[in-house]
Amino acid sequence: MNQRFFQIFPCQILVFCDIKEGMNEYMKELTVTSKAIYITREIEELIEDQSHHYPILSVMGPRQSGKTEMIRKYFPHLPYYDLEDEDTFNMISRDPNRFVRDKCIDGAIFDEFHYLPQMTQILKTVADELRHEFRREGKTVVPTRFVLTGSHNYLFDAQIKETMVGRAALIKLLPLTLQESGAKDPFEAMYKGGYPILYVNGTGPSKFFPAYIENYLEREVKTVHGIDDLRTFRKFMEICASLTGQFFDYQKVGSVLELSKETMNKWLTILYSSYIIFFAGPYYQSTIARFANKDKLYFYDTGLAAALMGVKSPEYIEFDPDMRGKLFENLVFSEMWKKNFIGGAYLDPAYFWNITGPGGYEVDMIVKGFLHIKAIEIKSGDTFDPKWFANMKKHKDLREARKFVVYTGPTMDVEGGRALNFTDLDQLFLR
């Protein structure tokens, strides 16, 4: 059994972790076979632009989201180093400063950068030297020399985050958007999710997700974060999936799994930092006296959420109203998050609006654009119902809002607003 050590975020503790020899061979096989087909990503336009302005390009996202293939396509001239590989890690970690100076002063790709955060300081120094050199030559920007990727958000570490400011373009590559996957059937889209590998070699969710979850638990949860109770952590993930689109109930989850609130917060942070889950906050309006003060939990990928729920086919979702409603709402929210990251900033953040107390009601999504507020109801049916606009008409602050319903039926103008098929969500970003 091989041993190696990694520096852990965010507490900066050094731990020793065993790596099982020969594990995750299925995931390796999938990665190799997926290289025959490449799916062009919408975010590539942003990468093309940012690579001309920053000496460091950071690309983060969940495992198997296509980071390595995309980066190696854009920077074929740069040497590639996988820090998850034990031999590579040992070679560089002995003296990162000397390695960068001697072997890759002209640039390099460092995959899974979070395994060796001590490289940050040398990259900062080199980036500043490059800037000084370019400015002396009368140039205002430094094109990208170093590309860092990671399935763990290393910006959770304050020192790394501070070092990156102004020196690195920060890109988040999530699973495929609906446009990238070409999804048309809503139940297939929810069941399959957006990991690229599922669209390039015929691999089905029933084979992919069990291997993916095992890989994530061993390589991220155990190795990076030092969590040994993987059985309970997996149950925790399954409960989170069942709570998609809802508030996280600490008391209920804690009693079921016998976990403290501190542990649950730590585990939620792990899922969040590795791009498994995200949170949508409430929409605050000063004229509203009562509003929700908690966030709702969503998964970046509905296919992963469905797998953790035990879904075996698209029909499971279609004929279970509760599951269908949860996963369809999750599909819409995750698509909005992906589109915002592709835009390079949180241009149109999505919230929910929950009016509590007597006569309380909820609006599924509020998007606060530059000029207009957009109120959106999310329904998993395919026949439009005018009653879906009811909650959006109740509060005076939404009277002038542009009103939409996202559903599985045809896109069309309707009295009071617009009904959008789930594949036409780009219309929500039109000014």
> Which segment of 108-117, 159-168, 317-326, 414-423 scores lowest on mean pLDDT?
159-168
Read off φ and ψ for residue 218, nearest 5 degrees. -75, -45
Under the banding of pLDDT at 50, 70 and 90, the label for residue 16 is very low
Domain holding 117: CATH number?
A: 3.40.50.300
Contact status, residue 210 vs residue 307, Cβ threshold 8 Å: yes
Q: Which of 149, 172, 195 is the last residue of a domain?
A: 172
Which of 300 and 340 is assigned the larger pLDDT? 300
Contact status, residue 126 vs residue 105, Cβ threshold 8 Å: yes
Q: CA 78, 80, 81, 82: dihedral to nearest 10 degrees? A: 140
| 108 shares its domain with 249 | no
Q: Which of 138, 172, 206 is the last residue of a domain?
A: 172
| 317 shares its domain with 274 | yes
| 213 shares its domain with 197 | yes
DSSP per-residue string spanning 346-398: -SS-EEEEEE-STT-EEEEEEEE-SS-EEEEEE---SS--GGGGTGGGTSGGG
What's the domain count of the chain?
A: 2
Q: Is the pLDDT of residue 269 over 90?
A: yes
Q: Which of 154, 172, 190 is the last residue of a domain?
A: 172
Three-state SS for 233-279 is: HHHHHHHHHHCCCEECCHHHHHHHHCCCHHHHHHHHHHHHHCCCEEE
Q: Is the pLDDT of residue 417 over 60?
A: yes
Q: Is the pLDDT of residue 249 over 90?
A: yes
DSSP per-residue string spanning 147-199: EEEESS-GGGSHHHHHHHTTTEEEEE--SPPHHHHT---HHHHHHH-S-GGGG
Cα dist. 343→46, 199, 239 in Å?
7, 24, 32
* pLDDT at 351 (0 to 100): 86
Q: What would the pLDDT profile of 193-219 be if each residue is shown by its tens digit?
A: 999 999 988 889 999 999 999 999 999
| 152 shares its domain with 237 | no
| 305 shares its domain with 182 | yes
Alpha helices in 35-119 (DSSP H): 44-50, 67-74, 86-93, 96-103
* Max CA separation in the chain (angstroms): 69
Q: Quick check: helix, strand or coil at residue 289?
A: coil
Under the banding of pLDDT at 50, 70 and 90, the label for residue 254 is very high
**What is the extent of the structural domain holding 364?**
178-429
Computed over every residue of the chain, the mean pLDDT equals 86
Contact status, residue 425 vs residue 186, Cβ threshold 8 Å: no
Q: What is the CA radius of gyration of the chain?
A: 23
Q: Which residues does 103 contact at the CB level (< 8 Å), separation at least 6?
A: 79
Q: Does a cis peptide bond (omega within 30 degrees of 0) precede residue 10?
A: yes
| 189 shares its domain with 159 | no
Helix (H) or strand (E) holding 17: strand 14-19
Q: From 342, 397, 9, 380, select the one nearest 177 (Cα to Cα).
A: 342
Helix (H) or strand (E) holding 129: helix 120-136
Q: What would the pLDDT profile of 342-373 be if each residue is shown by its tens digit?
A: 875 545 578 888 876 677 789 999 988 767 88
